[in-house]
Every structure is written in C-alpha cells, then in structure tokens.
C-alpha cells in the first residue's frame, strides 16, 4: 500500500511540491482533483521535498488535493492490439476503444550499445523523387524536416507515412493543431494505412506537459516492435513544441537557463530521443522522421541548430518544395551505389542538381534584366521542367521511373555533352530523341 499525501506545499507553473519520503526519482504519482485524475512525475528530490511535474497541468489543483505515489516510473502498454489505435500523451486511449493494460513496458530505456548497431544500408522508398533520388531515406536514419509555419510539413509526413515501405508507423503528435491531427487521421484512414499505425497524440489544447511524454511513449513502443523484427517508421511533429515544453519546465524549476532560455541539457534531451533510431543486428529497425519548425526561418535557433548536430541530415522545406540545396541525407551514399540502387542513380543525382544550380544563377540574371543566351534559355526550360516534374511534392512515382524521368527531362533540354554526364551512362540511358519528344508531347 502506497502512502497518500494531501498537503501540497507549492504550486508553480505545472510543477507541484509535496513533503514525502521513500519516493524514487522519476517515479509516477497520481493526483486526484475535483476535475479528475492526472499523472505526475518526480523531477527533483531535496531531502523530503519532492517536486513533480503534473501532466495535465496545475490549473485547478488545490493544496488539499490527494497525491498518491505509484511506486513505478512511466510505463506504456505494448501489444499488437495497439495497431489502429490512438492514445494521448499520458498513454490513455483518446479514441473510443478500450483501455489496454496487457503488457506494461518502461519508457526512456537505456541506449543501444553502438557495438551492436549495423551500418545503415537499406533504402526506404517513399515514391517522392526529391527524397528517393536526391536524398534517400535510409533504414534507421533520423531526419528532421526543417520548416517554418505555413509550410506543408505535416502533409509531407502523412504522404511519407502512406507511401513508405515499412511494416508500421508510429505517429507522435506534439502540440499539433486539432485539424492537423484530424487531417493525419483522415489521410491514413483513406489510404488504408491506419491499421498499421499507432498514434500518440497531444494536441495544442491538451496539457503541455503531456507533450513531453509523447516521443518517449512512441519510441518505447517502436523499440519493442523493432526488437520483434518489425521495420518501424516513427513520425514526430513537432519537436520544436517538445523543446519549448522543456524550456517551460526548466524555467519553472528555476534552472540556470542556457541558450535563449532553453535548458542546458537541450542537446542531451533531443539526442536521447533521436538516438533511438537504430537498425538492430538480427531484428527490426526504427527510422525517425521529425518536424522541426524554425522560429523566424532561423537555422541557427537553438532547436534546429542542436537538432542538426544530432541527426543524419535534414530536409529543408521552402515554399512548398524540398529544397535541393539545404537538404542532405548523410546516409544516402550507403544506399545509392550501383549495387544497391541503379548505376545511373548517383550520376543523375549530382548531374541534375548541378544543372539546377546553374538554372538558379540564370534565373537570378534574368530577374536582374541581363540578356538571355541560348544556353540560358535551355537552363530556364530545364528549371521549369525540373520543378514541375520532379520537385512537386504531389509527384508519386517509383525510384526507377524517377530516374527515367530525369533522363527524359535532360534529353528534352540538352545535348548529351551539355550534361557533363559520363559517356558510358549516356550510351546506355540517353533516351531516343523521338521517344523524348513523344513523352513531352503526351504531357502537354
């Protein structure tokens, strides 16, 4: 029988303090108020003074409310029954389904021994050319989507979720707007992917402290599925909200703030989550795709900056496109070699981006009123085609189709020598001129 305390000594922000003994660090407690029950977690102990962060927030808590320590740290249920279900940031169902109490597993477990990892070298096809061709997503990769408010980052996540070749998807919503959450749900439902998905959803109107738990719940469940051999894709949106919640608690706790008010351990906190991405030797894998909105489009802001040093690349989303310049998949070299992909993959990847860079220069010259040469005209045509046929996020084609399309676009705009591609590849892949024409006619 655990002791019950009903004298709350301090309430400050979402943190309360009680005098209690025999309490362990990070233990859970249940707080019963007039409005119902909420979980809370021990975040500091000083002699018999115990500070707890209340998941549902401290609003309406009275000093005489009951605090009951549960004698265990945060846990989450784990079973196949979770598929197709939606939970909140405390791990309770937020759909109309039954409470699951099967097997409880601890969250935020120990990190993976680097000696047991395997080098990531399997591509996850998404059928989005800007990803598959130019910055391939790799099993076990952790990638943020750097973005600003208003960009279609959640649409992109939902599309990846629909199209990615994985066994299952775990979506962690952190402070998501309610309509964004519904859009996710509807997209996955319509696409028939809901039955292979699990949602942990904290919306903007839900308690902010619960948003802190979402990544841990999602990743703990993902880890168990991965250990059972499943290829799991974890989507997190938005990790800036997670960081802001950390900041709020840290300041409430009067911790010495570090950069721009964020706590000194922001890097460790983010890394502890992102590093859960793994390809287990002899079991499944976890791949993490997360949204990081950049306040003021500023990549040097502490959240994107710290994230960039932890993750294996990033997708920049600019004006509705995945930017071919800022974006980077650090692991793409592991999957786009001739034996793992197609032998023209790297050449197309580099060649088309180099030409696109030249197009951008021409575009700049054009906007400054310089006269356009014949070469400039070719580049302008190329840039337009590239944007429309390759960069548009609604394009949904296989990697092979995308590579073929790349050759078509090149053939339509340039002579083989102008592309600077290697002659032996041109010999094999350069489309028949007449065919190229037919293809473009067909599209017009």
Partner 1 sequence: MSQATGKITGISGNMVAVAFDGNIMQNEVAYIIKAEERLKSEIVRIGDGVAYLQVFESTKGLKVGDDVEFSGELLSVQLGPGLLGQIYDGLQNPLPHLAEKYGFFLPRGVELPPLDEEKTWEFTPAVKKGDVVVSGIPLGHVPEGIFQHAIMIPFYFSGEFTVESIAGKGKYKITDKIAVIKDEKGHKHDITMTFSWPVKISITAYRDKIVPTEPLVTQARIIDTFFPVAKGGTFCIPGPFGAGKTVLQHILSRHAQVDIVIVAACGERAGEVVELLREFPELEDPRTGKTLMDRTIIIVNTSSMPVAAREASVYTAVTLGEYYRQMGLDVLLLADSTSRWAQAMRELSGRLEEIPGEEAFPAYLESRIAEFYERSGLVELHTGKMASLTIGGTVSPAGGNFEEPVTQATLKVVGAFLGLSRDRANARRFPSIHPLESWSKYDSFIDKQKIFESQEMLRRGNEVGQMMMVVGEEGTSIEDFQNYLKSEFLDNVYLQQNAFDKVDAATSKDRQIYIFDKVKRVLDTNFASKDKDDARKLFNRLRQFFIDWNYIDMETAEFKKQEQAIDELIKEHSGNEKGL
Binding site for partner 1 (CB under 8 A): 21-27, 43-48, 73, 108-120, 140-142, 227, 255-259, 263-265, 267-268, 271-272, 274-278, 280, 283, 299-300, 302, 305, 308-313, 325, 328, 330-331
Burial of 46 (0-12, 13-18, 19+ CB in 10 A): exposed
Nearer to partner 1, 20 or 193 (CB): 20
Nearer to partner 1, 52 or 86 (CB): 52
Nearer to partner 1, 204 or 299 (CB): 299
Q: What is the largest CA-CA distance in the chain?
A: 84
Measured torsion, CA atoms of residues 333, 338, 341, 342, in degrees rounded to the nearest 10: 130
Nearer to partner 1, 78 or 267 (CB): 267
CB of 73 to partner 1, least distance (A): 6
Residue 143 makes CB contacts below 8 A (sequence gap 6+) with 137, 288, 289, 290, 311, 312, 313, 314, 315, 329
Nearer to partner 1, 297 or 392 (CB): 297
CB of 70 to partner 1, least distance (A): 13
Residue 403 makes CB contacts below 8 A (sequence gap 6+) with 133, 342, 344, 345, 348
CB of 13 to partner 1, least distance (A): 16
CB of 437 to partner 1, least distance (A): 33
Q: In 218-249, which positions are buried (b, 16+ CB within 10 angstroms) versus exposed (e)?
A: bbbbbbbbbeeebbbbbbbbbbbbbbbbbbbb
CB of 383 to partner 1, least distance (A): 18
Burial of 113 (0-12, 13-18, 19+ CB in 10 A): exposed
CB of 322 to partner 1, least distance (A): 16
Nearer to partner 1, 280 or 430 (CB): 280
* Residues 238 and 171 sit within 8 Å (Cβ to Cβ): no
């Amino acid at each position: 029988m655990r002791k019950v305390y009903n004298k709350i000594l301090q309430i400050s922000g979402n943190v309360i303090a009680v005098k209690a003994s025999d309490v362990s660090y990070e233990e859970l407690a249940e707080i019963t108020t007039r409005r119902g029950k909420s979980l809370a977690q021990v975040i500091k102990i000083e002699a018999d003074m115990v500070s707890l962060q209340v998941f549902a927030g401290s609003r309406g808590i009275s000093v005489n409310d009951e605090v009951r320590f549960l004698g265990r740290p945060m846990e989450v249920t784990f079973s196949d029954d979770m598929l197709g279900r939606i939970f909140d940031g405390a791990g309770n169902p937020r759909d109309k389904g039954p409470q699951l109490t099967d097997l409880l597993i601890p969250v935020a477990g120990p990190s993976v021994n680097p000696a047991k990892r395997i080098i990531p070298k399997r591509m996850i096809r998404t059928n989005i050319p800007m990803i598959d061709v130019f910055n391939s997503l790799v099993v076990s990769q952790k990638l943020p989507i750097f973005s600003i408010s208003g960009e279609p980052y959640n649409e992109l996540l939902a599309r990846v979720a629909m199209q990615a070749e994985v066994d299952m998807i775990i979506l962690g919503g952190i402070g998501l707007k309610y309509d964004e959450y519904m859009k996710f749900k509807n997209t996955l439902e319509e696409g028939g992917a809901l039955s292979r998905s699990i949602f942990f959803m904290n919306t903007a109107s839900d308690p902010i402290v619960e948003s802190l738990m979402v990544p841990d719940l999602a990743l703990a469940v993902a880890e168990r599925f991965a250990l059972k051999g499943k290829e799991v894709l974890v989507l997190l949106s938005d990790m800036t909200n997670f960081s802001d919640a950390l900041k709020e608690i840290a300041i409430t706790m009067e911790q010495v703030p570090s950069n721009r008010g964020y706590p000194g351990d922001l890097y460790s906190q983010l890394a502890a989550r992102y590093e859960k991405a793994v390809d287990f030797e002899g079991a499944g894998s976890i791949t993490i795709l997360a949204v990081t909105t950049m306040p003021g489009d500023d990549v040097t802001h502490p959240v994107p900056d710290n994230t960039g040093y932890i993750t294996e690349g990033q997708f920049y989303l600019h004006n509705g496109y995945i930017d071919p310049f800022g974006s980077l998949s650090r692991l793409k070299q592991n999957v786009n070699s001739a034996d793992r992909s197609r032998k023209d993959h790297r050449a197309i990847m580099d060649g088309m981006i180099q030409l696109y860079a030249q197009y951008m220069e021409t575009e700049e010259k054009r906007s400054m009123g310089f006269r356009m040469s014949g070469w400039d005209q070719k580049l302008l045509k190329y840039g337009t085609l590239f944007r429309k046929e390759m960069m548009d996020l609604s394009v949904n084609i296989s990697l092979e189709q995308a590579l073929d399309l790349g050759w078509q676009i090149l053939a339509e705009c340039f002579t083989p020598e102008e592309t600077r591609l290697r002659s032996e590849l041109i010999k094999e892949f350069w489309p028949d001129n007449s065919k190229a024409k037919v293809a473009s006619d067909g599209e017009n």
